[in-house]
Amino acid sequence: MGSRWSSEEERQPLLGPGLGPGLGASWRSREAAAALPAAVPGPGRVYGRRWLVLLLFSLLAFVQGLVWNTWGPIQNSARQAYGFSSWDIALLVLWGPIGFLPCFAFMWLLDKRGLRITVLLTSFLMVLGTGLRCIPISDLMLKRRLIHGGQMLNGLAGPTVMNAAPFLSTTWFSADERATATAIASMLSYLGGACAFLVGPLVVPAPNGTSPFLTAESSRAHIKDRIEAVLYAEFGVVCLIFSATLAYFPPRPPLPPSVAAASQRLSYRRSVCRLLSNFRFLMIALAYAIPLGVFAGWSGVLDLILTPAHVSQVDAGWIGFWSIVGGCVVGIAMARFADFIRGMLKLILLLLFSGATLSSTWFTLTCLNSITHLPLTTVTLYASCILLGVFLNSSVPIFFELFVETVYPVPEGITCGVVTFLSNIFMGVLLFFLTFYHTELSWFNWCLPGSCLLSLLLILCFRESYDRLYLDVVVSV
C-alpha cells in the first residue's frame, strides 16, 4: 500500500454522501450537512501504523526547519568561509518565506493527489536542495549561488510541512487524537529551526575560535571543512527520510478513523472562494498572522534588540532556543488537553494570548527601565522573552484546529495553506524591511504587545463553531 500513488478514486469518500437519519435539521451549515455520510459503520477504526506515518512526516518537518536555519547561527563563520555579505545572510533566511509564494500550487496538489504524492515531492525537493549545497566547487561565487539555490528548494518544501499537519491528523487519527497529532506534526518544524542553534555552533567554530597557531587561510579552510560536514550530514539525513517515505507512506488508511475523515469536501475553487468570503475565518486568520509574523521578525533581530541591555549574541540565541523548545512542549500539552476537553479551543487561545500580551508588555517596559525603573537583569529578560515565545509558539496547533473547525467542510490543507501564506508573506515583508532599517529598533518592541493585544481582541470577538467535531461526536454515537 505504501508504494501506491493516490488517485482520484482514493480521494472519494469511503462512505456515500447524504444525511444521517434525523440529523439534517441539527446542522449549523448547509455545506456541513452535505458532507454527512449516510451509513456509518461504528465510530471508525485507527491503525497502529498511523504513528509511523506521523513520525516520518514529523522528521521531514524537523529537518526542513533545521536546513532552513542552517546559516543564521553560523553567519560569521559563513562570511569568512564563503564570502557571504549581509544581504546574502538575510536572503538565506528569506528563502523560507519566499518558498510560500507557490503555496497555492501545493495546496492544489494536496487536494487533488493526496498526502503521499505531496510528501514525496516535498522530500524530493529537499534532497535536491541539500544536494546542491554539497557540490564540491572551488569557485566561491558559484558555490554561493548553489547554496542559495539549495535554500530556495528547501523553502519550497515549507508549504507542505507547515500546512499538511491537520490534513494528516484528520486522515489517520480519531477525533480524540487529532489535536495532539496536529501539534506534533506542526511543532517539529519549529523545533528543527531551534536545534540549528545547537548543531551549527557546536560543529562549526567561530572565526576567532580556531586555533591561534593556524594562519588566516588555514583557519578559513578549517571553518569551511566543518561547515561542509554539517551540509553533508543534513544531506544524508534528508536522503534517508526520502527513502523511508518512498518505501512506506500510504496516502490514507484502509478504513477512515472518523466520520469526518470519510465525508465529502468542497472543491478547490469553492474552498478558496469560501475562505476569502468568510468574515469569521478572516478575523481569526488575522489573529494568527499578525502577532506570529511580528514575533518572527522580532526573533530574527533579537540580538540587536538586546544589545543595548548588554546581552551577548550567544545569550540571545539561547533565549530564542528555549522559547521555541518551550513553545513546542506547551503546544503539544495544550493540544492533548484540547483532545480531552473538546470545544475549548477559543478559551485556550484567550489564555495563551493573555499571557503573550502580559509577557511582551513586561519585556517592553523592562527595556525602558530608565523610565519605568523596572529591574533590567538577565533573569527578567530571559523570563519575559521565553514566556512570550512559549505562549505564541504553542498557539500554532490550536489555531490550526480552530481554522479547520470554523470552515469545515473546506479541506484542511487548503484552509491552513491560506493562513500560513498570509503569515509568511507578512513575515517576509517585515524581515525585508528590517534588513534595511535596523539601526533603531526600540519602536519594534511596542509592535509585540500591540499585535498580541489586537489578536486577543479578535479572538474575544470571534464566534467559534465546531462543525467537524459535531459530525464526529453526534453521528458516531
Long-range contacts of 418-423 (CB under 8 A, 24+ apart): 418/107, 418/272, 418/275, 418/276, 418/285, 419/285, 419/288, 419/289, 420/100, 420/103, 420/159, 420/162, 420/163, 421/100, 421/103, 421/104, 421/159, 422/285, 422/286, 422/289, 423/288, 423/289, 423/292, 423/293
Q: CA gyration radius for the chain?
A: 23
**DSSP secondary structure code for residue 6 in this structure:** P
Q: What is the pLDDT of residue 305?
A: 73
Amino acid symbol at 263 = S
**DSSP secondary structure code for residue 214 in this structure:** S
Mean pLDDT, range 137-165, rounded to an integer: 92
Q: Are 15 and 256 in contact (CB under 8 A)?
A: yes
> How far is 131 from 149, CA to CA, in rounded Å?
10
Residue 318's CB is within 10 A of a number of other CB atoms, namely 16
pLDDT surpasses 70 at 275: yes
Q: What is the pLDDT of residue 62?
A: 95
Of the listed ranges 51-65, 148-162, 319-333, the one predicted with least confidence: 319-333
- Determine the 3-state secondary structure of 7 from DSSP: coil
Average pLDDT of the chain to the nearest whole number = 82
Q: What is the pLDDT of residue 180?
A: 93
Mean pLDDT, range 377-393, rounded to an integer: 87
Q: What is the pLDDT of residue 216?
A: 65
Residue with cell 543595548: 308
Rounded to the nearest 10 degrees, how much is the dihedral formed by the CA atoms of 128, 131, 137, 139? 50
Residue 164's CB is within 10 A of a number of other CB atoms, namely 27
Rounded to the nearest 10 degrees, how much is the dihedral formed by the CA atoms of 206, 318, 55, 417? -100
Mean pLDDT, range 207-220, rounded to an integer: 63
Amino acid symbol at 149 = G
pLDDT surpasses 60 at 452: yes
> Closest Cα to residue 130, out of 62, 201, 228?
228
Write the CATH number of the domain with boundaries 48-256+266-466+468-472: 1.20.1250.20
Domain definitions of the chain by residue range: 48-256+266-466+468-472
Residue 121's CB is within 10 A of a number of other CB atoms, namely 17
The three cell numbers of residue 125 are: 525537493
Residue 144's CB is within 10 A of a number of other CB atoms, namely 18
Using pLDDT thresholds of 50, 70 and 90, give the confidence band for residue 299. confident
Q: What is the pLDDT of residue 131?
A: 96
Q: Which residues pair with 17 in a beta bridge?
A: 37
Amino acid symbol at 429 = V
The CA angle 389-288-283, to the nearest 5 degrees, is 155
Q: What is the pLDDT of residue 28?
A: 47
Q: What is the pLDDT of residue 39?
A: 41
pLDDT surpasses 80 at 49: yes
Percentage of the chain modeled with pLDDT above 90: 35
Residues in the chain: 477
Using pLDDT thresholds of 50, 70 and 90, give the confidence band for residue 26. very low
pLDDT surpasses 70 at 463: yes
> How far is 432 from 278, CA to CA, in rounded Å?
30
pLDDT surpasses 70 at 6: no
Q: What is the pLDDT of residue 378?
A: 77
Mean pLDDT, range 282-309, rounded to an integer: 80
**DSSP secondary structure code for residue 72 in this structure:** S
Question: Which carries the bigger pLDDT value, residue 12 or residue 187?
Answer: 187
Mean pLDDT, range 269-290, rounded to an integer: 90
pLDDT surpasses 60 at 321: yes
Mean pLDDT, range 238-254, rounded to an integer: 93
Question: Which carries the bigger pLDDT value, residue 127 or residue 24?
Answer: 127
Using pLDDT thresholds of 50, 70 and 90, give the confidence band for residue 54. very high
> How far is 44 from 255, CA to CA, in rounded Å?
7
Q: What is the pLDDT of residue 22?
A: 34
Mean pLDDT, range 414-435, rounded to an integer: 79
Using pLDDT thresholds of 50, 70 and 90, give the confidence band for residue 38. very low
pLDDT surpasses 90 at 182: yes
Q: What is the pLDDT of residue 8?
A: 47
The three cell numbers of residue 377 are: 537583569
Percentage of the chain modeled with pLDDT above 70: 82
> How far is 98 from 61, CA to CA, in rounded Å?
17
pLDDT surpasses 90 at 208: no
